[in-house]
Structure 1
Amino acid sequence: MSPRIMNDERTRGILFYGTDLDPLDLPLPRLKHHEWALIHEESPLNNYVLAHDAVMRLFNHTSTFRRESHYPLSTQAIEEEDYLIRRQPVSIAKKNEARKSGGLASVVYVQSHCDVPSDRDTYVEELMKYIDIDSFGTCLHNKDLPEHLHEPAENFLHEDFLEILSNYKFNLAFENAYCNDYMTEKIMRPLHVGVVPVYKGSPVVQDWMPNNHSVILVDNFGSPKELADYIKYLDENDTEYETFLEFKKKGIENKFLFDHLHNREWSEGTKDYFRGFECYLCKQLNDRVEAEKAHEQDPSLPLLPPQMANNSHLGCPVPERMDIGSGISKTWPSIDWTALYWSGVDSARAVQRMMEAGESDSQKFTKYRKEEINRHLKG
């Protein structure tokens, strides 16, 4: 952004997209009337500097997957209000037939992003020792999709892809990071097509489910073998299995989720959340300008207090090796996510110190980061 625009008194709000935020490219100096806004619907793995309070407190307005953000995107993977219930599941008879004569396993896994902070493939690989799993993606691949669907990430909304998934009984849904309220299409898609998700991800995912019995939570089992035994039990007991799909007929019974979907200002089909947050931000900035004008006319009228984000608007736990019940994973993905997380601390504190010093040149971040690393090593 040009210095002329940045120094214009009419410039009030600056919107950052989280993945692209680079400390070396911050719009400095930050003037006292500038309000910073952050939108980041993605996982923290995209930019670990945002996982730390020192940077998050620089933002006045946030829109993230966390419900604590000012414009929450927790239900970003639920496209429409009726998305979870409008498509009825394939009959249990057809699913059983697909198991017997179609050569399908009871469980499907579709994942092509393999080296992630959650270390999910370690668990899935162990689970495969105890139960058959059809894995269509690049990760732990053992079954091919039709040629026109070879890139599942690009075709996950294709009707042919949804039809294939709908014939399975269970879908492994493991997020790439385990953060409160971070839920993606990995869990919402199987709910949509009528397949029971076997889920590991957000610790509070049950808050967002259609009822209290629609998902199998991996963390409720002591080991992959225990989980496999339970899946096998449901696979052999149709009546018990179908209790997980009752929400398809009864509708959303979770009042918290129902109210959230009904009241949110955006949906994929009408008003997307990027534009929604921009509108929200414009209103917030305009309200502040109007309050300032009114205060100039009548000093007894209060100014609006500043908003400030904090770590709860995006923060996530430190990435750890997967606990597979029989011990911690001895291997780690090719990327050391723990090291990246703690490197983000040094970067975040460097940004904080740079801002406190009133720097006007963001390129000085490199100097501040080196100082922070040295401070870290000495401490």
Structure 2
Amino acid sequence: MTIRDKNKTIVGPKKEMHWLKLEDMEPISEDFKRRLKTKTKAAAWFVSNCYSKSRRTAVAKQLDEELKKYNYSVDIYGSCGTLSCSRDNDESCNDLIKNDYYFYLSFENSFSEDYATEKLWRALNYDAVPIVYGGANYTRFMPDGIYLDARKLSIQELAAKMNELINDPDKYAEYFKWKNYYSYHRQHESVDTEPYCLFCTHLNNEEMVKKTTIYEDFKRWWTPPGRC
């Protein structure tokens, strides 16, 4: 995932991000606000791996139960749920999120450091507030105030916050002010960020190729204790 500013310059993700503060951002357009108000469903999740180290499926089901108190639900698409949306028509699935859902569960299958996948990209690009559940420092990927963190809120607090935002269109719209300043892209969209192109660039960098690094315990370097 690549983050660009409004001038199309790549600004992240990186360890130290210097985001504009939410209170300093201009509000979204009235037209965009009107479109957000047409949403009718609480949360969606597209998932096929039901058994993960993070126990994300259990968390999603607990959230679904709690949301029922507010007459909402988590709609789970794929082999872990009761709904389906064909991967052969990915754009129609993304349109479901964009048109119908207030939130999207960006739940990762492990708590690896800085592990943020297409689940986050999907929410950000299809006009749903991400609910994250992972081991990343999410301020490296998003400004504060545009997402909810399921690891920092209890299930009860999370469901209550979702209900509050659904019933307060102006407050919900605040979560999209970032769109006036940033955009999110897949790495393969540009030669500048495509991983294989970057790999070739490094291989053809004579100074870099001359450098030698030795790891006495490669496994420990690759997966240090506590990473996942």
- Counterpart for residue 295 of structure 1: none
Structure 1, unpaired ranges of 5+: 1-76, 100-104, 289-303, 320-379
* 1:308 to 1:166, Cα distance in 2 relative to 1, 3 A: farther
Verify the 8 A CA contact 1:111 1:138 in the aligned structure 2.
yes
Distance 1:220 1:126 in 2: 15
Q: What is the CA-CA distance between 1:116 and the residue it aligns to? A: 1.8
* 1:246 to 1:92, Cα distance in 2 relative to 1, 3 A: same
- Counterpart for residue 246 of structure 1: 177
Q: What is the CA-CA distance between 1:161 and the residue it aligns to? A: 2.1
AA paired with 1:164? L
* 1:279 to 1:316, Cα distance in 2 relative to 1, 3 A: farther
Q: Which of residues 141, 144, 169 is equivalent to 2:84?
A: 144
The question of 1:115 aligning with 2:51 is answered yes
AA paired with 2:136? P
Structure 2, unpaired ranges of 5+: 13-27, 68-72
| TM-score for the superposition, normalised by structure 2 | 0.73
- Counterpart for residue 19 of structure 2: none
**Superposed CA RMSD:** 3.3
Structure with a larger share of its residues in strand: 2
The question of 1:269 aligning with 2:200 is answered no
Distance 2:145 2:206 in 1: 39
Q: What is the CA-CA distance between 1:315 and the residue it aligns to? A: 4.0
Cα distance per residue 1:108-159 (max 9 Å; x no partner) = 11111111221110101111101111112221x13333xxxx23xx55xx33
- Counterpart for residue 152 of structure 2: 220
* 1:247 to 1:312, Cα distance in 2 relative to 1, 3 A: farther
Identity of aligned residues (%): 19
Q: What is the CA-CA distance between 1:91 and the residue it aligns to? A: 3.7
Cα distance per residue 1:234-261 (max 9 Å; x no partner) = 1111111111100012x139xxx9xxx9
The question of 1:128 aligning with 2:64 is answered yes
* 1:215 to 1:308, Cα distance in 2 relative to 1, 3 A: farther
* 1:201 to 1:189, Cα distance in 2 relative to 1, 3 A: same
Counterparts of 1:1-379 in structure 2 under 5 Å?
A: 77-78=1-2, 91-99=32-40, 105-131=41-67, 132-139=73-80, 141-145=81-85, 150-151=86-87, 155=89, 158-167=90-99, 168-209=101-142, 211-221=143-153, 223-249=154-180, 251-252=181-182, 267-270=188-191, 272-284=194-206, 287-288=209-210, 306-308=212-214, 311=220, 314-315=223-224, 317=226
AA paired with 2:213? Q
Distance 1:126 1:183 in 2: 22
Distance 1:275 1:92 in 2: 39
What is the aligned length?
A: 197
- Counterpart for residue 24 of structure 1: none
- Counterpart for residue 24 of structure 2: none
| TM-score for the superposition, normalised by structure 1 | 0.46
Structure with higher Rg: it is 1
